Amino acid sequence: MGVAVMKLRNPPVNSLSLECLTEFTISLEKLENDKSIRGVILTSECPGIFSAGLDLLEMYGRNPAHYAEYWKNVQELWLRLYTSNMILVSAINGASPAGGCLLALCCDYRVMADNPKYTIGLNESLLGIVAPFWFKDMYVNTIGHREAERALQLGTLFSPAEALKVGVVDEVVPEDQVHSKARSVMTKWLAIPDHSRQLTKNMMRKATADNLIKQREADIQNFTSFISKDSIQKSLHMYLEKLKQKKG
């Protein structure tokens, strides 16, 4: 039925390394150019993890040129996903913090597995970093200003039930039904004529995407100088240590 399934596979946690981002963007571009494909189901092949978000090791202990290159690729993937003409449905079958949540938010519909161990949200503030304005814009578009304001400041990671309540996801289903539900949602969306759905999507999302497009370079500079700061590098170091200690 012209639907591709994209499975994220970058063990152990599907962090979005530079290589992973680049491959993702190229695969998406290929699908976008394949006229037989009308929809994509985005999911994960890593058990229990949708995506751990941006790769912290790409943002820690590197040089400014690397940060700039990395951020350019993060922007590129986001723009492609957010403005895709295809129908994107995410089958969120695991934890989905920060950049993982960002991927899901780019989709037209989000189905999440009902497992309280899986959480989703933009938790950047917990890491001592700040979600950039275009993450924030997409959050506001999805859950509204007040909820986004609170969730961004607190770095809230929502359980599936909470995520459904606040509107971060559209549906929560038993874990073994995530894929079948994503397929049935896709069938419903495929019944809409592409041209009217695409024009409507574009109308809803263009201003948000344009907001980044018109200041891409400044956004790269801003990220590079922010992430290069000693204080921010220290915060990331502490966060990485905390992740290690969690293992015991």
The residues that are catalytic are 54, 99, 123-124
CB of 171 to ligand LP6JUW53, least distance (A): 22
Token pair listed for 179: 């894929």
Q: Which stretch binds ligand LP6JUW53 (CB under 6 A): 79-87, 128-136, 199-207, 208-216?
A: 128-136
Comparing CB distances to ligand LP6JUW53, the nearer of 52 and 168 is 52
Q: Which residues partner with 41 through β-bridges?
A: 5, 89
CB atoms within 10 A of CB 199: 12
Contact between 123 and ligand LP6JUW53 by CB under 6 A: the answer reads yes
6-25 residues near ligand LP6JUW53, rule: CB under 6 A: 12-13, 15
The CA distance from 237 to 229, in Å, is: 12
Among 52, 106, 111, 169, binds ligand LP6JUW53 (CB under 6 A): 52
Q: How far is the CB of 235 from ligand LP6JUW53 (least distance, A)?
A: 10
75 binds ligand LP6JUW53 (CB under 6 A): no
Q: How far is the CB of 176 from ligand LP6JUW53 (least distance, A)?
A: 20
Contact flag: residue 244 with ligand LP6JUW53 (CB under 6 A): yes
Q: Per-residue x/- mask for ligand LP6JUW53, residues 204 to 233, rule CB under 6 A?
A: ------------------xx--xx------
Residue 51, sorted as left (phi over 0), alpha (psi -120 to 50) or beta, turns out to be beta
DSSP helix/strand/coil, 43: strand
Closest CA to 128 of 220, 238, 221, 53: 238
DSSP 59-95: SSS--HHHHHHHHHHHHHHHHHHHT-SSEEEEEE-EE
Residue of closest CB approach to ligand LP6JUW53: 53
Q: Which residues pair with 13 in a beta bridge?
A: none
248 CB-contact burial (10 Å; exposed 0-12 / middle 13-18 / buried 19+): exposed
If one asks whether residue 56 binds ligand LP6JUW53 (CB under 6 A), the answer comes out as: yes
77 binds ligand LP6JUW53 (CB under 6 A): no
Q: Can residue 85 be called a binding residue for ligand LP6JUW53 (CB under 6 A)?
A: no
The pairs formed by 129-133 with CB atoms below 8 angstroms and a separation of 24 or more are: 129/226, 129/227, 129/232, 129/235, 129/236, 130/226, 131/98, 132/219, 132/222, 132/223, 133/211, 133/212, 133/219
Interacting residues with ligand LP6JUW53 (CB under 6 A): 12-13, 15, 49, 52-57, 95, 97-99, 123-124, 127, 129-130, 132, 222-223, 226-227, 240, 243-244, 246-247
